[in-house]
Amino acid sequence: MANQSGQVYGLTILSPIVENERIDICHATELRWYLASLPRDHTSPFARVSSTHLARLVVMDDVVFVGAPAHEEHLKSRYLVFETNFDGDLDTYLTRMAREIPEVVESVWKHCVGYPGVADPAGFVAYMKKCQIATTFFFADVNDKTVQQNLRALQVQSALAHFIEKNQGEPAAEIQKSFGVLLERLAKAPAPLPGGDDSEETSAEDRPHD
């Protein structure tokens, strides 16, 4: 299935945006303002839906006229494009969105035609599927690891690089002892936060992106 590469699912959604000429600020503009205010780091709503590798939301105003002799044409609606790459299956992911970030889903999709709300997650899933466009070709460079596995590997890589640098030239017995401490520290280290963590409370060695 083209929507899937390995264990990663590539979802493409086109939701028509409500047009209402009688309101002062159009829905597309309000939606853009809201999207601009959303955090993009570990406090992002998509960090809460933790199976998300990468996601984007885009207001598409129109199709593009590439110049004569091509025919010029225009869309009658604007569309919200939601493109996301996540682990697992579609129903689980959309249900997680409805349950874990309902306020964000509501604030985004309330501007879209036919949005049923999130009170009934099954209704939201059905709505999103109506807006889904099948991916024709999907490329995922790493498609056999979850977000958490990638983050954990980055954390180990960072901690190990610090360890090797710090212990360069030390006697073997010392390195062996310190390596045991490193293992304990890694075992106790909190799971890395998706979305990036620059807070001072996290030591540089534990940051998966440092």
**Any long-range contacts for 197-204 (C-beta under 8 Å, 24+ apart)?**
197/41, 197/42, 198/41, 204/158, 204/162
Q: Which of 22, 25, 169, 172 binds another protein (CB under 8 A)?
A: 172
**133 touching another protein, by CB under 8 A:** yes
C-alpha to C-alpha distances, 21 to 18, 25, 83, 160, 179, nearest whole angstrom: 10, 9, 28, 59, 66
- On whether the CB atoms of residues 93 and 8 are closer than 8 A, the answer is no
**196 touching another protein, by CB under 8 A:** yes
CB of 110 to another protein, least distance (A): 14
Per-residue interface string for the shown chain with another protein, residues 43-82, x marking contact by CB under 8 A = -x-xx--x-xxxxxxxxxx-xx-xx--xx-x-xxx-x-x-
Structure tokens, 165: 């640098």
**25 touching another protein, by CB under 8 A:** no
Residues forming beta bridges with residue 9, ordered by sequence position: 4, 86
Structure tokens, 169: 């030239």
Name the maximum alpha-carbon separation found in the chain. 77
Interface region with another protein, contact rule CB under 8 A, candidates 12-20, 91-99, 117-125 = 12-20
Q: Which of 111, 194, 205, 206 binds another protein (CB under 8 A)?
A: 194
**26 touching another protein, by CB under 8 A:** no
Its sign, for the CA torsion 35, 41, 42, 46, is: positive
- On whether the CB atoms of residues 205 and 162 are closer than 8 A, the answer is yes
Q: How many residues bind another protein (CB under 8 A)?
A: 85
Nearer to another protein, 24 or 141 (CB): 141
What is the separation, in whole angstroms, between the first and last Cα of the chain? 36
Nearer to another protein, 87 or 98 (CB): 87
Nearer to another protein, 19 or 89 (CB): 19
**189 touching another protein, by CB under 8 A:** no
CB of 23 to another protein, least distance (A): 15
Interface region with another protein, contact rule CB under 8 A, candidates 92-100, 118-126, 143-151 = 143-151
CB of 158 to another protein, least distance (A): 7
Structure tokens, 89: 């299956």
**119 touching another protein, by CB under 8 A:** no
